[in-house]
Amino acid sequence: MQISDHMLRSFTITALAYVFLLPLVSCSSYGEIISNHTSIKENLHKTSPQMTSYIAVHGLILWVSMGFLMPVGILTIRMGNKEEGGRRVKVLFYLHAIFQTLAVLLVTVGAVMSIKNFENSFNNHHQRLGLALYVVIWMQALIGIFRPPRGNKRRSTWYLTHWILGTVISMVGIINIYTGLEAYHKKTSKSTGIWTILFTAQVSFIALFYLFQDKWEHIQKQASHPSLPSDQENVIVVTQRVNQKVMLPQPCAKRNALTNLFD
């Protein structure tokens, strides 16, 4: 009987341990299976040629729209603002509108491609910035379309808002292209050094041209009216004034000369 009680206790303890520990073991095994499945899925996406091509096309579209068309559109409207009027101003304005419209359409295509083909968990800076940019870009487009006429009281407020939003969108868009290149490298394990160098060269050229626009009119004036050193200019001015004083006839001397002539 003692042996039977001992066996019964052992069996009961074993059964209870099995009942309580089995779910934990099962959950652990299930978690490992899910983790392995997720890892396999990520690796498949990472090495899939189709996914790599989707990412490359998405990046190219955003490069052209945010990294080229929008900054060039800003440059064209700045050139138009420096003109007094006429046909040239209209051409530059329409170019600005065309560049910005194409940029908005391409950004929309890139956003649709991202939603359709990528895992948008928004757990990184690139996806968050991209979502914010997509919303603000369409706000900027609507602001540009519904602009008040010249002479309206709201025109100055509209201009300031449109200018600030355009500048911020262009700068943040350029930053997001860099974060996209980094995300592409992490996703595909491919080097993006050459693309980063090319994009940096392009951005640097646009920035230099942007700064050059403010000095172009001054450079043209300097070329058409060459300036002399300040000391030499002062000497020339003083000499001209002295010569004018010497060459001017004195009224009294002129009157005496005429009197002597008739006498």
**244 within some domain:** no
Of 34 and 198, more confident:
198
Of 52-66, 96-110, 214-228, the least confident: 214-228
* Per-residue model confidence (pLDDT) at position 234: 55
Cβ distance 192 to 185 under 8 Å?
Answer: yes
Residue type, 229: P
Q: Is 165 helix (H, G, I), strand (E, B) or coil?
A: helix
**19 within some domain:** no
**125 within some domain:** yes
Cα separation of 56 and 63, whole Å? 10
* Residue 161, pLDDT above cutoff 50: yes
DSSP element (H, E) containing 98: helix 87-117
Tell me which residue range forms the domain holding 143. Answer: 48-212
Q: What percent of the chain has pLDDT over 90?
A: 40
**37 within some domain:** no
**137 within some domain:** yes
Neighbours of 251 (CB within 10 A): 8
Tokens at residue 60, please? Answer: 């190219």
Q: What number of H helices and E strands is found in the chain?
A: 9, 0
Q: Please, which residues have CB within 8 angstroms of residue 26's CB and are 6 or more apart in sequence?
A: none
**54 within some domain:** yes
For 23-74, the pLDDT digits (tens) are: 444 444 444 444 444 444 444 445 578 888 888 999 999 999 999 999 999 9
Average pLDDT, the chain: 76
* Predicted TM-score (pTM) above 0.95: no
Cβ distance 132 to 168 under 8 Å?
Answer: no
CATH label of the domain that carries residue 79: 1.20.120.1770
**14 within some domain:** no
**200 within some domain:** yes
Total tally of structural domains belonging to the chain: 1
Cα 198 from chain centre: 15
Of 178 and 6, more confident:
178
Mean pLDDT within 144-153: 89
